[in-house]
A and B are shown apart, each in its own frame.
Chain A
Amino acid sequence: MNVDLDIHVRRGRFTLEVQVTAPAGVTVIFGPSGCGKTTLLRAVAGLEPVDHGKIVIDGSDMTEQPAHRRAVGYLFQEPRLLPHLNVLGNLKFAQRMGRQVRGQSFDEVIALLELDHLLSRAPFALSGGEAQRVAFGRALLSAPKCLCLDEPLSALDQGLKHRILPYLERLRARTDIPILYVTHDAAEMARLADYIVLMQAGRSVLSGPAEAILSDPAAVPYLGVRAAGTVISGQVMAPDPTTGLAVMAFDGGQLILPELSQTKGHNIRIRIPAQDIVLAREKPRGLSALNVFEGTITQLHSGQGPGVMVQFKTGGTLFLARVTQYSAQKMELAVGQTIFAIVKATGFDPAGIGT
C-alpha cells in the first residue's frame, strides 16, 4: 500500500506545495510550526480543500472524495472522543457508521493499547493519556487504508509521552499501511521514522528513508544539531563471552552495547547522535570506549555555526559526526580520507532503542 500526494493549497499568503509518496510504515513529516504539516495531513484526510493536485490512497484516487469516504484514520492533537458515548461506543463508532472492520482486529487493538479495563468508562472519566489511547484505538478500528497522526503526543506531558511511544512502536512493527506522522520533536522522529519528509514554508525540502536523511549533512540545518545522527538497524547477537555485554551486528561491524532488553535474533534500531561520535586520524589505542570503527569520509558540511558535520561510511552504513571547525582544520579532514570513529557505549540514546 502506498499514499501518493501532490497537494497544492493556497490560503492568503501561505502556499503549500508538496509531492510525496509514502510507503507502508511510518513517514514522519517534520518541520517548524507553521510550515504546513497539519494542513498537509488535513488535506490527505479530506478535512481541508485542495486547490489542485492528486491524493491517491492504496491505488484509488481520493481527491474528489469527502472525508467520510476516504478511509483515512486521523489522530488529532486532542483525543476528540464523543462525550455522549462511553469508551466502547467510541471504539465501535466507525463500525456503526458502516466501516467494515475485521472481527479479530477489535481484540487485537484492545490488547495492543491495553484498553480492556476502560471500555465502560465515560470519556470525561479518562486521564489525558488514556483518552489519547482510546482515540488512537478508535482511529485504528475505522478500517483505515492510511493513518494520519497529527502530533498525537504534543498535548501530553513528558512522562505520558514515554508511556504512549511504545504503543506507537508496537503498531509500527505490525502494520502494513502508510502512517503519516507529523511532529516537531526530533527525538520522536528518530525513534519512529522509516521515511522522513522535511518541510519548510509549505514545501518539502528533503525526503527519503530515515537512515539516509538522518545521516545526511544537508539535512542538519532542518533537523537541528541535536537531532542529527545516524539510525542504524541491526540484529541482536549472543552477548560477548568475556565481558557479558550485549552485541548488535550491523552492515559494517558490531556494536557493543551496555544493555539490551531484546534477546538474540531480534532486529533493533539504534540512534547515535552526531555529537556522540569522536573522530581520530589514526587508530586509537588504550581507550575506554569499546566501539571504534574505521570509515571513509564521504561528505563534509560546514554550516553557519561553529561545527562541521562529517559523514563517513563504514561497510554499508553511513554515520554522521559533528566536530568543531577548529578540529576539522587541525585534523585536515577531507573527503576520501580514512578516519576512526570512537563511539562511547553510554552515548546511545536509550529512547532510541526500539524494535
Chain B
Amino acid sequence: MSWFSVSPVELDALRLSLWVALVAVALSLPLAVTMAYVLARCRFWGHGLLNALVHLPLVLPPVVTGYLLLVVFGRKGALGPVLEALGMQLAFTSAGAALAAAVMAFPLIVRAIRLALEAVDPQLEEAAGTLGASPIKVFAFVTLPLILPGLVAGAVVGFAKALGEFGATITFVSNIPGETQTLASAIYAVLQVPGQEAAVGRMIVLSLLLSFGALLLSEILARKMVRR
C-alpha cells in the first residue's frame, strides 16, 4: 500500500466530514439569519440573555456542550421520548454529529450575519417601503441582497468550524467509523495507535486541502459579489 492510497475508513471519514459540515451549515443558516435579525433589529426584555445564550457554545468547553446535547437529545435525555416517538435517534448517529457541529458553528454564523445586518442602512428599507414593498418583500429584495457577503462569510466560517469540530461531537456521538467518525475524530483515533504516521499524514493533507478549498471558494464568491 503506497503512501498515497487512501483507505476506505479514511475515505468514509472524509465523506462524513463533508456531509456533516454541509448539513450543519444548511441547518444553521436559516435559523442564524432569523436570530441575527432578532438580535440586530429587535429590542425587548431578555435581549442580553438571548445574546449570551447564542454565544454560549463559543465559550463553553466543547465537552460540556456535547454533554448538554446528550442530556437534552440523548435516548434517556429530556427530549429522548419525543425523538423516539418520531422514530429518530440523534445520539451516536451521523445526524447527531451534524447537530453537534451545527450548534458549535451557530454563534459564528450569527455573528457574521448580524454584523452585516447592522451595516444595512434602515433608511434604504424605509425607501423600499414607500415604493410598495411589504416588509417581507423588503427583506427579500433589499435586506437579503445587501447582507449576502456577510451571509457567505458566515457560511464559510461555519463550514470550517463544523469541519474541525471535535470535542462536542465525540462526547455526543462518540467515534464510530462509518457512522460518526469525521476526519478530526479519525485523526484522533489513529493517533492513539503507534506506527500509523502515514495514515495521520494522509488525513492531515486531506484536512488541509478541504480547508484551503473552502477558503478559496469564499474568496472567489466574495470577489464576485464586490464586482456586482
Residues in A lying within 8 Å of B, measured CB to CB: 45-47, 66-74, 76, 78, 80, 82-84, 93-94, 96-99, 138-139, 142-143
CA distance A36 to B195 in the complex (A): 80
CB pair B124–A73 under 8 Å, yes or no, is no
CB pair A80–B123 under 8 Å, yes or no, is yes
Residues in B lying within 8 Å of A, measured CB to CB: 121, 123-124, 126-135, 137, 141-142, 145-146, 228
CB pair A76–B123 under 8 Å, yes or no, is yes
Residue from the list A47, A68, A76 in contact with B132, Cβ < 8 A: A68
Candidate in B132, B137, B228 with the most chain A CB atoms within 10 angstroms: B132
Instruction: Determine the chain B residues whose CB is within 8 A of the CB of A83 once the complex forms.
Output: 124, 146
Instruction: Determine the chain B residues whose CB is within 8 A of the CB of A97 once the complex forms.
Output: 128, 131-134, 137, 141
CB pair A72–B137 under 8 Å, yes or no, is no
CB pair B130–A73 under 8 Å, yes or no, is yes
Residue from the list B127, B141, B146 in contact with A74, Cβ < 8 A: B127
CA distance A68 to B228 in the complex (A): 28
Instruction: Determine the chain B residues whose CB is within 8 A of the CB of A76 once the complex forms.
Output: 123, 127
Beyond A67-B126, A71-B132, A74-B130, 20 additional contacts (C-beta under 8 Å) are: A66-B129, A66-B134, A68-B131, A68-B133, A68-B137, A69-B132, A70-B130, A76-B123, A78-B123, A82-B128, A82-B142, A83-B124, A84-B145, A84-B146, A93-B131, A93-B133, A97-B133, A97-B141, A99-B131, A142-B131
Given contacts A82-B124, A82-B142, contact A47 B130 (CB under 8 A): yes
Beta-carbon nearest neighbor of A101 in chain B: B132
Chain A: minimal CB distance from B117 (Å): 15
Chain B: minimal CB distance from A24 (Å): 20
Beta-carbon nearest neighbor of A122 in chain B: B228
Instruction: Determine the chain A residues whose CB is within 8 A of the CB of B228 once the complex forms.
Output: 84
Instruction: Determine the chain A residues whose CB is within 8 A of the CB of B130 once the complex forms.
Output: 45, 47, 67-68, 70, 72-74, 139, 142
Instruction: Determine the chain B residues whose CB is within 8 A of the CB of A143 once the complex forms.
Output: 132
Chain A: minimal CB distance from B146 (Å): 6
Chain B: minimal CB distance from A133 (Å): 15
CA distance A67 to B127 in the complex (A): 10
Residue from the list B121, B131, B135 in contact with A94, Cβ < 8 A: B131
CB pair A93–B146 under 8 Å, yes or no, is no
Instruction: Determine the chain A residues whose CB is within 8 A of the CB of B134 once the complex forms.
Output: 66, 68, 97
CA distance A96 to B132 in the complex (A): 9
Beta-carbon nearest neighbor of B148 in chain A: A84
Chain B: minimal CB distance from A6 (Å): 21
Instruction: Determine the chain A residues whose CB is within 8 A of the CB of B121 once the complex forms.
Output: 80
CB pair B131–A138 under 8 Å, yes or no, is yes
Beta-carbon nearest neighbor of B146 in chain A: A84
5 shortest interchain CB distances as A-B pairs: A80-B127, A94-B131, A97-B132, A74-B130, A67-B129
Chain B: minimal CB distance from A97 (Å): 4
CA distance A68 to B131 in the complex (A): 7
CB pair B124–A80 under 8 Å, yes or no, is yes
- A selection of 28 A-B contacts at a CB cut-off of 8 Å is A46-B129, A47-B130, A66-B129, A67-B129, A67-B130, A68-B129, A68-B131, A68-B134, A68-B135, A69-B132, A74-B130, A76-B123, A80-B124, A80-B127, A84-B145, A93-B128, A93-B131, A93-B141, A94-B131, A94-B132, A96-B141, A97-B128, A97-B131, A97-B133, A97-B137, A139-B131, A142-B132, A143-B132
Beta-carbon nearest neighbor of B130 in chain A: A74
CA distance A80 to B134 in the complex (A): 17
Chain B: minimal CB distance from A172 (Å): 20
CA distance A93 to B133 in the complex (A): 9
CB pair A99–B132 under 8 Å, yes or no, is yes
CB pair A47–B131 under 8 Å, yes or no, is no
Beta-carbon nearest neighbor of A86 in chain B: B228
Instruction: Determine the chain B residues whose CB is within 8 A of the CB of A93 once the complex forms.
Output: 128, 131, 133, 141
CA distance A69 to B133 in the complex (A): 8
Chain A: minimal CB distance from B203 (Å): 41
Beta-carbon nearest neighbor of B145 in chain A: A84
Instruction: Determine the chain B residues whose CB is within 8 A of the CB of A96 once the complex forms.
Output: 141
Beta-carbon nearest neighbor of A71 in chain B: B132
Instruction: Determine the chain A residues whose CB is within 8 A of the CB of B127 once the complex forms.
Output: 74, 76, 80, 82
